[in-house]
Amino acid sequence: MSEVVLHRIGKTFGDTVAVEDLSLTIRDGEFVVLLGPTGAGKTTSLRLIAGLERPDCGRVTIAGRDVGRQSPAERDVAFVFQQYSLYPHLSVYDNLAFPLRSPARRLNSDEIDRRVREVARMVRIEHKLQSRSTRLSGGEMQRVAIGRALVRRPAIYLMDEPLSSLDAKLRAELRLELKRIQKELGSTLLYVTHDQVEAMTMADRIGILSEGRLVQIGTPREIYADPANLHVAARLGQPHINLLPTDLLPGAAPPSGASAIGARTEHLEIATDAQGNAEVDWIEHLGDQNHLHIRVRGHKLVTLADPYLSIKPGDRINLTLRQPLYFGSDGERLR
Amino acid sequence: MTDAPSTIAERSADMLARATPTTIAVRVRGLSDRAIAWLFITPTIALLLAINIFPLIWAVYLSFTNFRANRPNAEVEGVGLRNYQRVLNDPDIWIAMQTTAHFVFWTILLQMIIGFALAYLIDRKFRGHAFWTTVILIPMMLSPAVVGNFWRFLYQPQIGLFNYIVSFFTGIPPSSFEMLGSVTLAPWAIIIVDTWMWAPYVMLICLAGLRSIPDYIYEAAEVDRASAWRQFWSITVPMALPFIMLAVLFRGIENFKMFDMVMLLTGGGPGSTTEVASITLKREAFESWLTGRSSAFAIILFVAVFGLANIYVKALNKVKQR
């Protein structure tokens, strides 16, 4: 049982509000992703749980105990930093063994060896155990950093954009592996990112942060399909959600007070029609799909289209809305 | 020079030449880039040759002769390796070398401990740490002549502050001991002054080393439950080690040739208890006027320092590459 609860946490640095009135529960064995742009307070939230920062107000509990006065070492958390925070003069093996060699743990060397090798296998670094950590590639370094967190069985794993400095291919690989490992160990994990793909693919629940506040939390499906406001809707979806005036396209049934319509690909129906209401501006061919850039009376839209749809730039099409999202003038969602 | 520039340096010089305004290009037309480069570095090379390389070669030549600078008109004869033989068989010179080694060892040890400790404290970034850094650096910025005379007063048995403070804390009467006049105390008197003056320099280098260690390494260690003691030995020391070694190298070379402070404080005395190699060298050269022999001694010292420094730099590079 290692539920982590943040209760009405606040933290400011000078005049900058980093986190404001943040309440969040991470259930035992849950993979929660905090998603938000730079400066939204994601990293600060992690550091507050780890004890690397002290909150100005509010309470943090880990597995039921109030950790407000405890040092990072006493809190039983593992942290993966955005930078490769390896001990540069140590080998990969010694880096992985470092947390286990803490006198507080009293593990014998056979046990340490067994766990280091097990984790090295998990993060696929067992062939480099004797290498100096400075001789590794970026991907290998970050795998070691993740491994160094995994050798322990802490109450919660805290990961601060661990994949952001890796190339796209490796990121996709490690994303899968991390999710697999977390499932395998049944561990509790709080993960911070600004990458919506990471959030959508790995999270049990996604929390959307904006300007230090938790705007919405829910399963990836809920967050995507049922966003609480414009900010959340804009964070997810590729291509980006299209914002349109309520009277631009047919098929809408805006509730009273609606000032904008949000339309993603699944909210737009395309029909080829020489007399249609829209004109195709440009087509980006991505292989498995096409990005269609469309113009409707001076408004530009981007949507996905079947690559076999026979249209070309300059063609006219007919666009109809299908149960789009409606937003009020304050950006809140109207249902 | 061929038309196709090969190295990066040549290529960038080529680009620069093409970007040069026409007036200058016209003025230096007819000169290749290589020639212009030589034109710029020639004054430096000439100066270096005149004041460094030539005297060195001249000293090597003199070390094989019986030349005496106070008898410039006497006939100069080649004596082969006899000067070197004499120097290496002279027991006084070996005693001077031993005294030097003693100084080098203790000054480096004390300066490293004090310098590193100061750096470690200053690196805590407390309020006013920049001010204290400046205050600590003052001794290093003073002229050795000022420091030497200044400490002669401090060490004065009747009115000196040093003797007074020692007596204040220990009860030993201040005029009962002479720091500069006693055979046992004089070497330590010099070691204390040199440490006072140069520990700040070591601190500066160590501080650079400590500042180069990113905070998140410490944060990672803290989350990994490493105690402050373990963080110090497994992060701070290994990561600052190249800097510490560099400080040892600089201070080692400097103190091997230590002259000014000894000359000002004791002049090598009492007796010859503080007579380091450079003082002996000065005596041989400018009191006994054995120019040839002292040149041989100087060359031996030079080779010794150069050799030791080279071995040391190899070790330093090994540590850096880890």
Q: What is the pLDDT of residue B61?
A: 92
Cα radius of gyration (chain A)? 24
Phi, psi values for residue A134, rounded to 5° = -75, -10
Work out the number of other CB atoms within 10 angstroms of the CB of residue A149.
26
Task: Say what the pLDDT of residue B6 is.
Answer: 52
CB–CB of A102 and B214 under 8 A?
no
- Specify the pLDDT at position A201: 92
CA A18/CA A9 separation, integer angstroms: 10
Question: pLDDT tens across A100-120, in order?
Answer: 988 767 788 888 999 999 999
- Distance, in Å, from the CA atom of A186 to the CA atom of A165, rounded to the nearest integer, reads 26
Residue B282: burial class (beta carbons within 10 Å; 0-12, 13-18, 19+): middle
CB-side exposure of B190: number of CA atoms within 13 Å? 31
**CB-based contact, A77 to chain B, within 8 Å:** yes
Question: How many CA atoms lie within 13 Å of B305's alpha carbon, on the beta-carbon side?
Answer: 22
- Mean pLDDT, residues A44-57 taken together: 92
In degrees rounded to 5, what are phi and psi of residue B277?
Answer: -55, -40
Mean pLDDT of B20-38: 69
- Residue B3 pLDDT more than 80? no
Q: Which helix (H) or strand (E) holds B176?
A: none
What CA dihedral angle connects B50, B53, B56 and B58, to 10 degrees?
Answer: -60
CATH number of A4-235: 3.40.50.300
* Complete DSSP assignment for A203-244: -SEEEEEETTEEEEEE-HHHHHHS-SBHHHHHHS-SSPPEEE
Sign of the CA dihedral running B249, B250, B255, B257: positive
Region A58-70 average pLDDT: 90
- CATH number for A242-334 (one of 2.40.50.140, 2.60.40.10, 3.40.50.10470, 1.10.3720.10): it is 2.40.50.140
- pLDDT band at B10, cuts 50/70/90? low
Q: Which chain B residue lies closest to A99 (C-alpha atoms)?
A: B224
For A258-276, what is each residue's pLDDT tens digit? 889 999 999 998 888 888 8
Question: DSSP alpha helices (H): ranges in chain B?
Answer: 8-19, 22-27, 33-48, 54-62, 82-89, 91-122, 129-141, 144-154, 161-170, 186-211, 215-223, 228-231, 237-256, 260-265, 277-286, 291-321
Nearest to B218 by CA among B124, B121, B318, B322: B124
pLDDT value of residue A217: 94
Residue B219: partners with Cβ closer than 8 Å, 6 or more residues away: A52, A72, A79, A81, A85
Question: What is the reported pLDDT for B26?
Answer: 52
Q: Which two tokens stand for residue A319?
A: 């666009």
Tell how strand A156-160 and strand A189-193 pair up: parallel
Q: pLDDT band for position B28 (50/70/90)?
A: low
- In the three-class reduction of DSSP (H, G, I as helix; E, B as strand; rest coil), residue B307 is classed as helix
Going by C-alpha positions, the residue among A50, A96, A53 that lies closest to residue A73 is A50
Range of weakest confidence among A215-224, A238-247, B43-52 = A238-247
**ipTM topping 0.90:** no
Cα Rg of chain B, angstroms:
26
Q: Please give the single-letter amino acid code of residue B242.
A: P
Give the max Cα distance, chain B.
83
Q: What is the CATH number of domain B84-321?
A: 1.10.3720.10
**Residue B227 touches chain A, beta carbons under 8 Å:** yes
Mean pLDDT throughout A240-247? 89
Domain boundaries, chain A: 4-235, 242-334
Q: Are B207 and B199 in contact (CB under 8 A)?
A: no
Burial of residue B211 (number of CB atoms within 10 Å: 0-12, 13-18, 19+):
middle
- Positive or negative: CA dihedral B182, B185, B191, B196: negative
Q: What angle do CA B139, B233, B244 make, to 5 degrees?
A: 35
Q: Which of B144-158, B165-179, B244-258 has the lowest mean pLDDT?
A: B165-179
Q: According to the model, what pLDDT value does residue B1 have? A: 37
- Which chain B residue lies closest to A70 (C-alpha atoms)? B223
For chain B, the structural domain boundaries read 8-62, 84-321
Q: How many C-beta atoms surround the C-beta of residue A47 within 10 A?
A: 20
pLDDT above 70: residue B15: no
Is A83 in CB contact (< 8 Å) with chain B?
yes
Rounded distance, CA B7 to CA A97, Å?
46
Q: Give the number of beta-carbon pairs within 8 Å between A and B.
A: 59
- The residue whose two tokens read 């009273």 is A256
The residue of chain B nearest to residue A132, with distances taken between CA atoms, is B322
Q: Which residues of A19-29 are buried (b: 16+ CB within 10 A; e: fewer)?
A: bbebebebeeb
- Taking residues B131-151, report their average pLDDT: 92
Q: What strands lie across the sheet with A299-305, from one edge to the other?
A: A268-272, A316-321, A278-285, A290-296, A299-305
Q: Do B219 and A81 touch (CB under 8 A)?
A: yes
Q: Which of A211-220, B9-18, B215-224 has the lowest mean pLDDT?
A: B9-18
Q: What is the pLDDT of residue A148?
A: 92
Q: Which DSSP symbol is given to A278?
A: E
**How many CB atoms lie under 10 A from the CB of residue B221?**
24
Q: Which of A102, A134, A151, A161 to probe by mutation at the B interface, max B CB count within 10 Å?
A: A102
pLDDT tens digit sequence for B61-120 = 988 988 888 888 888 888 888 889 888 898 888 999 999 999 999 999 999 999 999 999
Taking a contact as any Cβ pair under 8 Å apart, which residues of chain A between 35 and 74 contact chain B? Answer: 50, 52, 71-73
